[in-house]
Amino acid sequence: MKRASRKTGKQTTDSKPAGTEPSAEVAFASYAAPLVDEAIEHADAVREDASPEALHKLRVSLRRLRSLWWAFEPLLDKGENTRQRALYKYLATAAGKTRDWDILIDLVAQDERIAHEMTPQLQAARGGALATSRETLSNADVKHLLQDALTSANKELNTAHERVPLQKFADTRVAVSERSLKKRIKRASRTKRSNYTAFHDVRKAGKKVRYLLEFFEPVLSGSHKRVLKRLKQIQKRFGTLNDIVASEMLLRDNADLLAGSSDIDAARDWFRKERKRRMRAAARLLRKL
């Protein structure tokens, strides 16, 4: 997707007459249309493909859409923009419910003794979650929802009386997202180690910055190599922590499904120890950033 974003950004720039800088309003479609097509393609694939990868791709494409609509928030109707971003979050959550079971199953598999007894029950629960995800996505009519959102945003931007230079707009929005990330890093570094919410906020802010850099990198002024290095570190360290915390919560919230497993307590103990270990690792990284 990064290569595609660069390509569309370059095409937008090169298609303009010499001496004319493209506007953010005109460039929006070159960023949004490929993302909408990709999300629709992944949503269609999930109907036939039950693999973890298919669900992961759909969730990522929806998250990117949400970040793009956030980036263009200053140019779009505030109320409609908020509704669209909420929609993308809702659809991503629908896909994510099954993906969370996949992550839990992979983590449990690291302990053969626990996995031997628990995996069949987890797979059954995953099957139920998949059925629900598919039903939710089907009822939502993802294709028409996303196409309507794109059409509406394009219409609003194309009829705007003012035009904002793309580079200036991109620089400003990336700067806003970077300041938000720095603020959350500072807050998380000062909080108690047990405050996972602060760590999770860092991860979400980091994803937003990364997506915006993927969208706008070809037109940005200045270098963002240092930020990208930070983002890779955050993504790896905080991503593994999130997997543990989310899986631990999934176990707790579905205790009734695993009531017959004699190893449920052993699994909970493993996740509790692993969460503490990864929280310490995340805290160490924050002190270095």
- Nearest to 282, CA basis, from 181, 182, 202: 202
For domain 2-288, the CATH superfamily is CHAD domain (1.40.20.10)
On whether the CB atoms of residues 177 and 209 are closer than 8 A, the answer is yes
Structure-token match 């993504």, residue found: 235
Summarised one tens digit per residue, pLDDT across range 111-155 is 887 888 788 889 999 999 999 999 999 899 999 999 999 999 999
247 backbone φψ class: left, alpha, beta (φ>0; ψ -120 to 50): alpha
Amino acid code (one letter) for 158 = N
DSSP characters for 244-276? HHHHHHHHHHTGGGGTT-TTHHHHHHHHHHHHH
Phi then psi for residue 23, to 5 deg, are: -95, 155
Q: What is the pLDDT of residues 64-119, one digit of tens each?
A: 999 999 999 999 999 999 999 999 999 999 988 898 999 999 999 988 878 887 88
* Domain chopping of the chain, boundaries: 2-288
Q: Which two tokens stand for residue 21?
A: 């800088």
Name the pTM for this structure: 0.86
- pLDDT confidence band for 5 (50 / 70 / 90): very low
Is the separation of the CB atoms in 215 and 193 below 8 Å? Answer: no
CA distance 156 to 164: 14
Phi, psi of 165 (to 5 degrees): -55, 135
